[in-house]
Amino acid sequence: MDDNALLREYTEHDSEAAFATLVTRHVNKVYSVALRHTRNPHQAEEITQAVFVILARKSRYMGKRVILSGWLYQTARLTAVTFIRGEIRRARREQEAHMQTFLNESESYFWPQIAPLLDAAMAGLSEVDRHAVVLRFFDGKSMKEVGVALGASEDAAKMRLNRTVEKLRLFFTKRGVVLPAAALTAAISANSVQAAPAMLAKTATAVAFAKGATVSGSTLTLIKGALKIMAWTKAKMAIVTSLAIIACLATTTLIVQHPQTLSSDAKLVWLTQSEITAATTPGLFTRTKNRLMNLTAPLWRRYWSNQSQIVIDSRLMSLSPGAVEETKLGAPLSTNLDGVQAWILSSTELNALLQRWRVVPGASVINNPRVLTLSGMKASCSAGSFNPDGNIQFGLTVDVTPEFASGAVRLWIGLTSTEMIASSPTNVGEAITNLAIACRALLPNGGGLVLRGTTADNSGTNYWSVVSPIVVDAAGNPKIPWPAN
């Protein structure tokens, strides 16, 4: 039976066996969270018992879709925080005499550095991100199982975990623990859950089943304190949500009052793919074509030949840390919620940047697809290539709808860059998205939108992308010089 079925069995039939199964299933995780906070196995046992008493008391009020594993992790962390606060006050009175360091031996080189900071890093994650990490690296669930638990697809769960692991890695880097993402996840998977004492599951089950009636006074105080923190955490989330709604309402009012400023003059606006679709359908070109469908073929060809056309030049770049330092773009114009940074450059600035990348060691063009289109006409270009070693295949896909604006080109852009490990051109592995954005940008003719992704491989290589519109005449001649190759 899964966690929710066992929880229903306990709440509906007061089944001690069902509750004991839940305790046995999750006791190691709860104990390990407590142990990392207290570094004292006896105190960790007390916290573990308190957590399962809280579960027994609150089980009847939990929603049907509760993710019990993540709930227990968060409850264990909050209970441990409550315990530590009490211990700090007591330790001050006793001159911190009985606080001792305890860490299990770890086969991982990094684990002794990670362990003291792990729960602080986890506390900084959103609830959904924290659930994903607990399910994947604490419980050892597959990506598919994580996706099912979160109500998302396997690919969506994978992307969320990749972003979350990068957030954790940056957290540790800022605190002097520098390690690759693969080493971080391996250390957490191997060491984050340690075996609880043999009798703890049985003891915790008995104490929790009695709703804490038999626990000591200190444990009862701990339970009450943890419940207060949990209630405050929930209330704080409600306050933040209310403020966000108020902010959205205020923003909506501004949009109604100043539609021209926000819709036409903004140089860069991050969008969702559905917003891009809504904004570019049917498109200026399609509307014009529908009006001219009654023209004869010669007149239609004459209309086509008189239109200025737009070449969309895009490229995917790989930059070493040294090459990134030499990029020298200054502060980004904007950063989206996933941490992707963006700059808008003039034609001169873009060519200067591409020239620097040509001579800087560690900067190389992976793909450089181009497409020719008309104002208002949606177009797509893509390219794929292998790295020099022939074991990683890169792909870049750009969906774009350009539209002439006064002195510039407005682009609706959907861009995705992927990589996959491949043993041969016909035998490729699973694709990993290293850059994905959707936006509307107002770019100067021949200028460019420069994007820096948030991911880097083990060597520190960063992936960048450039999208540049170039207006050409009917013969295909650019009205400004092409960007440097």
Instruction: List the chain domain ranges.
Output: 3-239, 284-472
**CA angle, 389 then 394 then 397, to 5°:** 160
What pLDDT does residue 264 have? 40
Helix axes 154-174, 111-123, angle to 10 degrees: 110
Integer angstrom CA distances of residue 159 from 142, 143, 187, 378, 443: 14, 10, 20, 27, 30
Place of tokens 């929880």: 7
Are the C-beta atoms of 34 and 43 separated by less than 8 Å? yes
User: Which of 68, 82, 86, 77 lies closest to 18, judged by CA?
Assistant: 68
What is d(CA 417, CA 439) in angstroms, rounded to the nearest whole number? 15
Tokens of 121: 């890093």
Are the C-beta atoms of 136 and 146 separated by less than 8 Å? yes
What is d(CA 316, CA 430) in angstroms, rounded to the nearest whole number? 19
Tokens of 276: 């891009």
State the number of CA atoms in the 13 A half-sphere of 480 facing the CB. Answer: 18
For the entire predicted model, the pTM comes to 0.43
What pLDDT does residue 293 have? 47
Amino acid at 99: M
| N- to C-terminal Cα separation, the chain | 60
Amino acid at 173: T
What pLDDT does residue 232 have? 57
Question: For 258, phi and psi rounded to 5 degrees?
Answer: -130, 60
Burial class (CB in 10 A: 0-12, 13-18, 19+), 206: middle
What pLDDT does residue 431 have? 63
- Measured from the Cβ of residue 302, the count of other Cβ atoms closer than 10 Å reads 11
Distance of CA 266 to the CA centre of its chain: 26
What is d(CA 53, CA 215) in angstroms, rounded to the nearest whole number? 9
CA-CA-CA-CA dihedral for 131, 133, 134, 140, to nearest 10:
130
Note the residue count of the chain: 485
What is d(CA 118, CA 108) in angstroms, rounded to the nearest whole number? 14
**Strand 432-444 to strand 427-428: parallel, antiparallel, or no bridges (unpaired)?**
unpaired
**Strand 341-345 to strand 363-367: parallel, antiparallel, or no bridges (unpaired)?**
unpaired
User: pLDDT tens digits for the chain (485 residues)?
Assistant: 899 999 989 988 999 999 999 999 999 999 999 999 888 899 899 999 999 999 999 888 888 888 999 999 999 999 998 888 877 777 666 654 443 333 334 345 678 888 889 999 998 899 999 999 999 999 999 999 999 999 999 999 999 999 999 999 999 888 888 888 888 888 888 888 888 888 888 887 877 767 666 566 677 677 777 776 666 555 555 444 444 443 443 333 333 333 222 234 468 888 875 666 555 544 444 444 454 444 445 554 554 455 567 888 888 888 888 888 888 888 889 888 778 889 999 888 998 899 888 888 888 888 888 888 877 777 887 776 666 555 566 677 888 888 877 668 888 888 887 776 655 555 555 567 767 888 888 898 888 999 988 655 556 678 888 999 888 766 666 666 555 54
Buried b / exposed e along 128-141 (16+ C-beta atoms within 10 A): ebbbbbbbbbbbeb
Question: For 426, phi and psi rounded to 5 degrees?
Answer: -105, -5
- Measured from the Cβ of residue 338, the count of other Cβ atoms closer than 10 Å reads 15
Cis, peptide link before residue 282, omega less than 30° from 0: yes
What pLDDT does residue 471 have? 83
What pLDDT does residue 233 have? 57
What is d(CA 270, CA 435) in angstroms, rounded to the nearest whole number? 14
